[in-house]
Amino acid sequence: MLRTRVLTAIALLAVVLPVAWSGSLWAVGAVALLATVAGGWEWTRLFGLSPLGVPAALLATAVALVISFAAGSMPAWAEASGQGLLIVAAVFWVAQALPAVLAARLPDWLAGKTVASLVGVLLLLAFLLAVLGLYQRGPVTLLSALVIVWVSDISAYFCGRRFGRHKLAPAVSPGKTWEGAIGAAVVVTLLALIWAAIASGSDLVSALARRGPVLVPAIVALVALGIVGDLFESLLKRRAGLKDSSGLLPGHGGVLDRIDALLPVLPVAELLLRWLA
């Protein structure tokens, strides 16, 4: 199992890193589109929806989005709609997903299949829009946002194993602890402060650091959002009686299992750069 997990991780990095540094928004868009559509299919499994509806809607809209970004021809109305989509996604993660995780149950309004389909499409499109927007600012901007999530995940795991005593959301994910979450926030914040002190580039941390006191609360908020995304997907899997969102990634589960923390973090990171940088 561990061998399979490691081999899959290496294969994913062998695709993601060269594409990220290729300078081709077409290539990045294609990979992000594939992840978005696959995530949409997994979303249908979590809610017992038709396996074609959400992926089809995502595919049609996402292709148009990638083409517009790659061609550099995003009209003003589409730009405004995109920002609105990012705001809607951010509000959902804070005002709906967070309370759902704390209560260990989904809100009643999300039980309907039509609403669940629409929410899945909106959240995954916001993720794709954020990937494209961050990458358009430069590969290092997107990678720095990804690194925040990756370092947070690793720090939470090791801090939780070493110091974990108090369960964070036992009814949703018994393995996660407050100590792990706090450790992740501390580690990522310290690394961000160190990076901000020695670098001044186009990455997310440097852009936030140029706004002075914004850096620390922004980093802590992004770490917290990543944890909410992870826990929310765990809640959906428990509700559906599934261990993983799918078996598309051997040893890792599904695409949603890999991008659950990115779904809230990337849209909010893109919004922060639009508003503050």
The candidate with the shortest Cα–Cα distance to 243, out of 225, 262, 256, is 256
> Side-chain half-sphere of 93: how many Cα atoms within 13 Å?
31
pTM over 0.75: yes
Q: pLDDT (tens digit, 9 = 90+) per residue, 170-221?
A: 999 999 999 999 999 999 999 999 999 887 777 899 999 988 889 999 999 9
Show the tokens assigned to 102. Answer: 């704390």
Q: What phi and psi values does residue 224 have, to the nearest 5 degrees?
A: -60, -40
Q: pLDDT (tens digit, 9 = 90+) per residue, 80-112?
A: 788 999 999 999 999 999 999 999 999 999 988
- Under the banding of pLDDT at 50, 70 and 90, the label for residue 47 is very high
Show the tokens assigned to 191. Answer: 């690394």
Whole-angstrom distance, CA of residue 79 vs CA of residue 155: 36
Q: Any residues with CB less than 8 A from the CB of 126 and at least 6 apart, and which? A: 85, 86, 88, 89, 263, 267
